[in-house]
Amino acid sequence: MRQYQLSIVLSLLLGISACSSSGLFRSAAHEQTFREQFGQRQWYTAITLRPYAHPGGYLIDLTGTIAEEQFDTYRAATSIPFGSRIRLIDVANDAVLARIEGYDEVLRILVSTQRGTADDVANEVGILLSPDPPLPAVRAAMRDFVARHQIARGMSWREVYMSWGQPDKAQVMPSSSGTLEEWVYFDKRMHLFLENGYVTNWQQM
């Protein structure tokens, strides 16, 4: 009798687990929708990835919660170029897990949304993903710079992401002409300056 009761309890727990969602989504239905849309196909990295070192793999922080106070203290020793083949393999708590062709490490993409819907998570992760190789879609005037991982005046913020990846720090300063931004790349010892989303200048540290 006791064994029978234990079996019922275990079955109920397994059923609850199957119907529940990870902490990233508001419900199991939203998680399932995301898995169906993103988990069943191959993608390409839309930008250069500069992951943090993480136990058992790499970490990409889309939440802005990881702050670096010293030069490249927590970055992994490698960067992953745009156009790399990537597959989303799972969802765990506050992250989407992925594998990149040619790399043994699992990539943990840290995500945070207010509503936890499938669309919200897709919008966050979507900045990293492209359904096709991304270089042909770059403006012709900037394509060679992006291919060589260089920076040029007039580059859009997304083209900078493709060349150098996301900055270590970013400061936004509203102005009469629009939005001014200062991006800092510790590993390159460089400050980039953008106006309304386009590079205007840079300065070596």
pLDDT-above-70 percentage for the chain: 86
Rounded to an integer, what is the distance from CA 69 to the centroid of its chain?
21
Can you give the pLDDT at residue 65?
75
- Tell me which of 3-17, 84-98, 103-117, 176-190 is least confident: 3-17
Can you give the pLDDT at residue 21?
58
Distance from C-alpha of 67 to C-alpha of 65, rounded to nearest angstrom:
6
Can you give the pLDDT at residue 22?
65
Q: Around Cβ 149, how many Cβ atoms within 10 Å?
A: 14
Element (H, E) at 57: strand 57-61
Q: Average pLDDT of 51-71?
A: 77
Q: Residue 77 — very low, low, confident or very high, per pLDDT cuts 50/70/90?
A: confident
pLDDT-above-90 percentage for the chain: 67
Distance from C-alpha of 161 to C-alpha of 77, rounded to nearest angstrom:
18
Query: For the chain, what is the mean pLDDT?
Result: 86
Q: Average pLDDT of 16-35?
A: 76
* pLDDT above 80: residue 5: no
Distance from C-alpha of 159 to C-alpha of 173, rounded to nearest angstrom:
21
Q: Residue 54 — very low, low, confident or very high, per pLDDT cuts 50/70/90?
A: confident
Identity of the residue numbered 16: I
* pLDDT above 80: residue 120: yes
Q: What is the pTM of this model?
A: 0.82
* pLDDT above 90: residue 133: yes
Percent helix, strand and coil across the chain, each rounded to 5? 30, 30, 40
- Tell me which of 75-79, 134-138, 141-145 is least confident: 75-79
In the chain the domains, ranked by start, together with CATH numbers, are: 20-130 (no CATH), 138-204 (3.30.1450.10)
pLDDT tens for residues 173-190? Answer: 888 888 999 999 998 999
